[in-house]
Every structure is written in structure tokens, then in C-alpha cells.
Amino acid sequence: MGSLAPLSDLSSSPKETLNLINPNELLNLFKSQQNYLNFFFQNLDLSQTLTFTQALLNAKGTIFFTGVGKSGFVAQKISQTLVSLGIRSRFLSPVDALHGDIGILSKSDLLVFLSKSGNTEELLKLVPCAKAKGVFLISLTSSERNLLTNVCDLNVYLPLERELCPFDLAPVTSTAIQMVFGDTVAIALMGARNLTQDEYAANHPAGRIGKSLIFKEELPVCRERDLIMDQLVELTSKGCGCLLVIDEECHLIGTFTDGDLRRTLKASGEGIFKLTVGEMCHRKPRTIGPDAMAVDAMEKMESPPSPVQFLPVINHQNVLIGIITLHGLVSAGL
């Protein structure tokens, strides 16, 4: 049987040499990618782009996106972006489509092919099947002459100077172009459909403050007649850094923070033992509604004259619903 090497042998082993990135080479790569993207913007045919965007805006059915490999991933992302804007869209795997999923297509649908070359075999096999269903076909390709442009109803050329890859093979610039194009068109559709912030928020419920809301049973609440010193455990044990002062019907009266406690103790000394929370609380605290977005809560916390660490959440009748804290928003990934 083998045995472990003595510690002396291990300690004498040569240290592993780390590979380093040349900062100048890295900077040059970013500059090159920027130049390749600029080539795309400078040579993109606006009339083709406008026709494509209008087609998506006026689609009566579902907008399907399809692609293979990296283009397939981009197709999925663009489709998901449209869905988040309330637009009917789905990704259709070309392989799965040829094994039964083609049945989901109808003549009112659009099918958008993403392909750098426009000659992807799996996509070309899908074309006659989709045509038989009466689907409107659109190609997004980076080759001016390709097989897809010959068989689709609408074609958009996405100008590509070359890939950033030194061999001009790895699809790192072409996919970036596809993504930029798709996302920009999505925002154009967002504007054309007059999508409101509330409508967008309704499609992103996790973006609301409810994800980070602390509800009633965990709230540090007290009455205004309660003595400050009697509420120290409530103030410190809930992890919110404050007391929420309410009346018998849970209407919010004000807030009393650990900072208020320190200032009151400094100013009153032993007199703090006789003071009630209602005498020293802040009666016009910043608050927020339950349907607000997390980003709005963060902005309100950081607004002048000085930042705060929490916001009581109240309804339109000033009834306390919960509390949102800065720590909760950060933990939720805002």
C-alpha cells in the first residue's frame, strides 16, 4: 500500500506558478470589441429594422424565436424579454420542433430565426414545416448571402465585421450584436405599446418590496404611552433598529430609532426613565406603500436630507402593514 509523503517533502515542493493577464492586451481586446460593435451600429439598415419592429408590434399571434447553439441562447433571452413586457413570445427548439413541437405553430404566428451564417442545417429543415403551417418567417443573420434569406418572408442583416476571437471563429461578437439588436427592438416595442411602470412591475412581482417585507407578527411595535425604558427589548431584539409607534387600530403614529434613544439619553440623563415613546418619537417618518418597487424604496431611503435604514409600509388609510429595511433590500439582491 502507498503512504502519504512526509510533511518535509510536501513543504519543499515548488510553488505553482500563476498565469497572468497582460493588462494592455486586455484593454486592447475591449477596444477591438467596441470597434466591432460600432461597425454594426454604423452599418445597420434602419429600414429593415423598422419593418422588423413593426412586424413584431402588429403580430396577431405568438412571436417565436429559434436558433442553434449560442444563437439559440440569445433567441431564448430575447423571447423572455418580450414576455416580461407582456408580449406573447416563446422559444422554439428547432430539434424539438421537428419531433412534434411544430404543432404549437399557427398561421397567425411569427417565427424569427437567429443565425450568424444563415445556413444552419437544423433551421433550414424547420423552414418547410413552418411554411406549411402558414407562419410568417423572419431571418436575422450576419451574412448577406445565405440560404435562410432565400426562403424567409422578411430578412434583417446584422452587420458583422469579424469576431473578436483571434481565429474569427468563436461567436463572441456576433452574439453580442444579436443581443443588442433584440433588446433594443424590445424597448422600442415597450414604448410603442405605452407600457407603464405599473404594468411592467406587475410582470415582475419579485421586484416589489414584498420580497423583503417584514410583516406584523415580527414588527417592533409599541404604543405612544409606553415608557421608553420598557421598550428596550422590543427596540433591540427585532433587528430593525427602531420602534413603530401605533394606536389601537394599527395606524402609524411615528417611529423611534436606536439613534433617538442615544440622543434622548444624552439630553435627558436619568429623566429618560419617565419619558414615553410618544413624547420623543418622530411623528412624520418617511413611509412607502405596499405596491412600491424595491428600487423606489431604496431611492426613498437614500433621499435628502439624510439617509434612513428603514421605511414603514402603510396602506392608503395609514394602517401599518410592515417594514422594509436597507439590510433586507441588500439581502434580496437590489
Residue range 258-268, pLDDT digits in tens: 999 999 999 99
Q: Which residues, 6 or more positions from 176, have their beta carbon under 8 angstroms from its beta carbon?
A: 33, 37
CATH of the domain at 140: 3.40.50.10490
* Residues 289 and 153 placed together within one structural domain of the fold: no
How many residues make up the chain in this entry? Answer: 334
User: Is 181 a residue whose pLDDT tops 70?
Assistant: yes
What was the pLDDT predicted at 228?
Answer: 95
- The rounded distance, in Å, linking the Cα atoms of 24 and 332 is 37
* Residues 159 and 242 placed together within one structural domain of the fold: no
Residue of higher predicted confidence among 243 and 3:
243
When pLDDT is cut at 50, 70 and 90, the band that residue 332 belongs to is low
What was the pLDDT predicted at 2?
Answer: 47
Residue of higher predicted confidence among 184 and 203:
184
The one-character DSSP state at 269 is G
% of residues, the chain, pLDDT over 90: 75
CATH of the domain at 232: 3.10.580.10
- The rounded distance, in Å, linking the Cα atoms of 65 and 78 is 8
From the number of C-beta atoms within 10 Å of its C-beta (0-12, 13-18, 19+), residue 142 rates as buried
Nearest CA among 215, 97, 115 for reference residue 157: 115
Nearest CA among 40, 39, 124, 115 for reference residue 70: 115
User: Is 207 a residue whose pLDDT tops 90?
Assistant: no
Q: What phi, psi does 227 have (nearest 5°)?
A: -70, 140
Domain that holds residue 284: 221-332
User: Is 323 a residue whose pLDDT tops 50?
Assistant: yes
- The rounded distance, in Å, linking the Cα atoms of 328 and 334 is 9
Place of cell 405596499: 290
Find residue 156's DSSP bridge partners. Answer: 140
* Residues 50 and 183 placed together within one structural domain of the fold: yes
What is the pTM assigned to this prediction? 0.65
117 is a domain residue: yes
* Residues 179 and 73 placed together within one structural domain of the fold: yes
The one-character DSSP state at 14 is P
111 is a domain residue: yes
